[in-house]
Every structure is written in C-alpha cells, then in structure tokens.
Structure 1
Amino acid sequence: MVPPAEALVLACGPRPGGNSDRMAELLAQGLAEAGVPARLLHLRDAGPLPCVGCQGCSRDAGYACPLMDQDGAEEVFGRIKSAPLLFFASPIYFYHLPGQFKGFIDRSQRHYEAWAAGDPALRSLPPRTAHACLVAGRPRGEKLFDGALLTLKYFLRTFNVRLGEPLTLMGLDGPDDLCGDAGACGQVLDFARRAVVGAGLGAGPAA
C-alpha cells in the first residue's frame, strides 16, 4: 500500500516559539489526527533571501534565479509543488505578511516567469487547496487580513493551488497567548481536520 503524500505546514513567523509556530504545531497535530501525515517546515530555517528585481530569471533560458544556490528557498518551493494539501501559518505585521515570508513569495518570480511561458511541469501540476492560518496581535481591524490573503491568492496560482477559506485569529500578541487560549487552540485543530475532509484525504475527524 502506497503511503499518503505528506501535507505541508509552513510556519512563516520569524520568531521561534511564537504564536504562529504554535499554530503550525496544532495544524500538524490536527492533520495527524485526521489521518494525514504532515511535514512541518519553518520558513526561517531556509533563510530565503529577498528578490532584488534584477530580472535575471526572465532572461535565463531555464528561468534560474541568481540567488537560488545561496539559500534554501528552492527546497520549500519544491515542497509546495508536491504537497497534496498546504497550510501557511503566519503572523500579521502592519496589516500584511512578515518581511521574510513576503520576500520568499517575491522569489517565486522565477516560477511565475516559467509558468507564464507555458512550462509543462508547472502547467501540469494537479489542482490543490491551501489554507492560510493568520494570527494578529491587534484585537480589531476590518481589513486586517486583506492584504496578506490577496498576496497569497495570487502567489499560489503559479502552482495551481487555490486559496481556501482562511482561519484568522485576533488579539493574540504575546508569545504564549495562543497556548493559553484553549478555545483558539481548538479552532486550529478543528480547522485542520475539516480541511482534510474538504480535500477528501485521510480518515476525517472522529465522530
């Protein structure tokens, strides 16, 4: 029997041990409880360098980025391409994604250039769904998550990934705020389980 492919949980906070790290751990736990193995990666470990807008990828026959051998960004992109189900756990900084995560997204330009040129490997990727799990310190804000979600939506299109309904949590600022909120932790676990059911993977949540 072929084991199921691993879902990807990408923790995108720059601070070790913060709320988004805990959120990522809960997502992986919820996925495991629903019968889906998960690979939890911390984006900061890949040390992605930001895109400098040199347009080198658009001039290269293979759409290579001059920075791709200097960090671990390409390994993460490879995981995004292969995962059957994806989750992004991120804090909100100034109404958007933190700088390192946004810099990583900007580095996908080389993949976008290849996709726009009709690259068969990218064009043949199976349709999948990604789920954004965003946590903000501010207790209110009508458009608090809008910028982050719009960026994620268009970033993921290159990889034939649709952005599903997000989970957004407010008012969790201190590093232990999520851990101390049993209700919020339950929301994250349930969110992962429901995503599995929606994707038709695993055994789904227990009755």
Structure 2
Amino acid sequence: MPDALVVLCSPRCGGVSDTVAHHFTQGVVAAGATVRHAALRDYVFSHCTGCMRCAAPPHHCSLSDRSQETPDQADELFTLFAIAPLALFAAPIYFYALPARFKAFIDRGQRFWAAKNQRRRTYAGQPPKPVLTALVAGRKRGKRLFAGAVLTLKYFLEPLDAQLRGARFLRGVEQPDDLSPAVCADLCDWGHRWGKKLTSTYQAAP
C-alpha cells in the first residue's frame, strides 16, 4: 500500500501546524496505514517566474532543467503527491493567506493547469485523489479567515486530478500547547478514519 502524504507547509519546524499533522499521522498509523512526511522547508525549489514556457506542449517547466547549477526539487514533491493515495496539507495562515513557501510551490503547479485538458482526457473516469487540509491561525476572529486559502487550494488541486475532501480550521492557536486535548483527539480520530479508508480500499483490491 502506498504511503499517505503529509505535507508540512510551515517555515517553522515543530510549530502548531506541524503538531496538528503529527496528531493526524498518529491516527493514520494506528489504523494500519503508512505515512510519508514532506516538509516544504526542507526542499529546494524556485518560485514561478511567469516565463510562459509551460503554456505550450509539452508543458515543461523551465525551472526543472537538470542542467542548472542549483537543484530544483519541485518535481520531486509533485511526484510524491501523484503516487500518494491520500494527502494532507498542514499550514499556518499568515495575513489571511497561505505562507510564502507553500504559495511558491502552488505556483509551480502552473504547468499542470496549462496541461489540464490533456490530463482530463488521460484520467477520464477516475475519481479525484482525496486531499485534506489543516489550517491554523493565531487570530481568533475573522469571518473569512480561511476562505482565501481554501479557494487557492481548490484551484491548485483541480488540474492535479485531486479534490479537497475534508478540513480542520483552528483559530486562536499561537503555540502547540494551545491545542486542547479535545482538538488533539479529534485530529487523531480524523486520521484514523482516513487511515481505515485506505487500508480497507487496498485490502479489497484484487
């Protein structure tokens, strides 16, 4: 069974969103599934420059050129996402938006958007990959605190043949210790339920 992918999108190691992902992972593993973590802060990749090279077939990103002196690992991350049966993106909210590193990775998905019509023909009839997100904010108020991030994720995932299937939105959380036992238990249970779905799917496969 392939690993579920948990993407840590915070620039800070061990922060609230990392802790949230940890509780989710505990549940997935308890259900008998396996998890791979990928922290964006540990990967080297450049931001999209808007060069438009990917607009035309074969929709190749100029930044992925292997001849460059500086390695670019965006394709490695997209490959991890492609082979995972389930993905969770855990991220903090900064100024009502996703953090810069995460947004830079999202922008690198432009080549998939450019090729979306071709991909729809390739994956016709297949259900979209389920994707989850856990978004955390120190701010307690704001009716649309998470709305912009969710909209960004929705359209990032669409050309990747993936769909947002669940979310946890946590407000007023500045430090990991601010997570209540009830919230931690809910995150673990959330992971367990999705882990059970994964294990049952692969056990039922011929």
Q: Same fold by TM (over 0.5)?
A: yes
The 10-residue stretch of structure 1 (68-77 or 104-113) with the greater mean CA deviation from structure 2: 68-77
Letter of the 2:63 counterpart: L
Deviation by residue 1:46-71 (Cα, 9 ceiling, x = unmatched): 13321111111114x32111112432
Which one has the bigger helix percentage?
2
Q: Which residue of 2 aligns with 1:68?
A: 64
Deviation by residue 1:88-143 (Cα, 9 ceiling, x = unmatched): 10001111110110111010011121223447656686522101111110112211
Pairing of 1:24-103 with structure 2 (within 5 A): 24-59=21-56, 61-69=57-65, 70-103=71-104
Query: Equivalents in 2 of 1:120, 1:145: separation in Å?
Result: 32
| 1:19 counterpart = 2:20 | no
Q: Offset at 1:77?
A: 0.6
Deviation by residue 1:134-157 (Cα, 9 ceiling, x = unmatched): 111011221111011111111111
Letter of the 1:151 counterpart: T
Q: Offset at 1:28?
A: 1.6
Q: 1:20 to 1:192 in 2, by over 3 A?
A: same
Letter of the 2:41 counterpart: R
Question: How many residue pairs get matched?
Answer: 196
Q: Offset at 1:18?
A: 0.8
Letter of the 1:44 counterpart: R
Letter of the 1:63 counterpart: H
Q: 1:120 to 1:45 in 2, by over 3 A?
A: farther
Q: 1:16 to 1:124 in 2, by over 3 A?
A: farther
Letter of the 1:26 counterpart: H
Q: Which residue of 1 aligns with 2:4?
A: 7
Q: Which residue of 1 aligns with 2:129?
A: 128
Q: Secondary structure at the match of 2:178?
A: coil
Q: Which residue of 1 aligns with 2:204?
A: none
Deviation by residue 1:24-57 (Cα, 9 ceiling, x = unmatched): 2222211101111111110111133211111111
Conserved 8 A contact 2:137-2:170: yes
Q: Offset at 1:17?
A: 1.3
Aligned residues: CA RMSD: 2.1
| 1:174 counterpart = 2:175 | yes
Structure 2 unaligned regions, length at least 5? 66-70, 202-206
Q: Secondary structure at the match of 2:160?
A: coil
Question: Highest relative contact order (Cα 8 Å, sep 6+), 1 or 2?
Answer: 2
Structure 1 unaligned regions, length at least 5? none
Query: Equivalents in 1 of 2:121, 2:62: separation in Å?
Result: 22
Conserved 8 A contact 2:137-2:172: yes
Query: Equivalents in 2 of 1:123, 1:57: separation in Å?
Result: 22
Q: Secondary structure at the match of 2:62?
A: coil
Q: Which residue of 2 aligns with 1:116?
A: 117
Conserved 8 A contact 1:48-1:100: no
Q: Secondary structure at the match of 1:39?
A: strand
TM-score normalised over the length of structure 1 = 0.86
